[in-house]
Amino acid sequence: MNLLTDDWLRVIGADGRILPLSPPRIGSGEIRDLHAPRADFRGALYQFLIGLLQTACTPENRKAWLAWWRTPPSTDELKKRFAPFLDAFELISENGRPAFMQDLDMPDGEPKQIATLLIDAPGGKTLRDNLDHFVKRGTVEKISPHWAATALFTLQINAPSGGVGHRVSLRGGGPLTTLVLPPEGGDRDTLWHRLWLNVLTGEELARLPGNGALKNQSAIFPWLATTRTSGKKGSETWPEQVHPLQVFWCMPRRIRLDAPDREGGICDLDGRPATALLHGYRTRNHGINYAGSWEHPLTPYVREAGKENLTIKGQPGGLGYRHWLGLVVEESAGKQHRVPATVVRAWQQSR
């Protein structure tokens, strides 16, 4: 299964039907939105497609950005843009060969049930103490490959603390993501325009932390090279060691999916028939340990002189007006300066 060529996405068409779709077809004006069985999956899929467009289709300047805003690209054009990255988006492969968001060379590891890819899955201690009152064990035991890919991506980009050596995401655990969206119900209220609004120009991208001079794809997609493990002191990964685009493809967890069975059955996440199902994976600790001041284009930050940038996180009781201000306009309080996500500022200042 290749995530750039297969019809693995689920989208909502203009007539309200749920349809399968491959990424090169996202420019169709007949696609209204993404569909997923979980809210965190839907948010992650938006980030997947925005990251893909930013990686393969960064417009040089505002004029180039406006051209695709007014006339979305054809399926053939996007196939051509995505083609150089096909090898990085194979979901299942033999150990030692690249597999999307997975450790390149991990012949063994701790076996895990596929359900533990889900961020809200009860952990080992919760299960031992019989405290899984709200999210029950055993409800998810087998899932379709496309939802396994989504769960894996969701975990890697949002990874919370997972015990000794199981690293958090580049933005910390549970980062807040903000998107710019077109007016609801208008002629630009399509999936394409929802995505393209959140893609930066090359001029804007060049201002992000990172080493844009790095040409190897492994500087963007860390699973194309041997994992930078972090078991020893001083083994952190800093912005200047990777390409700025790695913020979309961070891989703090060392994971390798088991091969799917080919007997098929019903996926426990969406209740639909599938010709193949995944039951488990292997994992090891001490994956990539991101350190320093990163800037993810979709996340608001708190800045303070002499300190690393801090991502703004979701609040247990929801976001109130005092939180909202820092998501849409810059504000200062004492030594701290809150800035909206880069895509929000780009829309306000240069679109």
Q: CA 78 → CA 23, 25, 49, 241, distances in Å? A: 8, 8, 12, 29
* 82 φψ region: left (φ > 0), alpha (ψ -120 to 50), beta (else): alpha
The residue type at 275: T
Measured from the Cβ of residue 182, the count of other Cβ atoms closer than 10 Å reads 16
Measured from the Cβ of residue 91, the count of other Cβ atoms closer than 10 Å reads 21
Helices 39-57 and 145-158, axial angle in degrees (round to 10): 80
| 3-state secondary structure at position 332 | strand
Q: What is the pLDDT of residue 133?
A: 45
Q: What is the pLDDT of residue 295?
A: 96
- Mean pLDDT of the chain, nearest integer: 92
Q: How many CA atoms lie within 13 A of 146 on its CB side?
A: 24
- Contact (CB, 8 A) for 212 and 252: no
- Does pLDDT of 234 surpass 70? yes
| Tokens 């807040």 sit on residue | 176
E strand spans, the chain: 9-13, 18-21, 31-34, 110-113, 254-257, 265-266, 273-274, 280-284, 301-304, 310-311, 331-333, 336-339
- Close Cβ partners of 332 (under 8 Å, ≥ 6 residues apart): 338
- Does pLDDT of 129 surpass 60? no
The span from the CA of 164 to the CA of 99, in Å, is 25
Question: Using one digit for the tens of pLDDT, what is the confidence trace for 190-216?
Answer: 999 999 999 999 999 999 999 999 999
Question: Using one digit for the tens of pLDDT, what is the confidence trace for 82-116?
Answer: 999 999 999 999 999 999 999 999 989 999 999 99
| 3-state secondary structure at position 144 | coil
Q: At CB < 8 A and 24+ separation, what contacts does 18-24 make?
A: 23/49, 23/52, 23/78, 23/82, 24/75, 24/76, 24/78, 24/79, 24/82
- Does pLDDT of 303 surpass 70? yes
Q: What is the pLDDT of residue 138?
A: 58
Look at 226 and 139; give whichever has higher pLDDT: 226
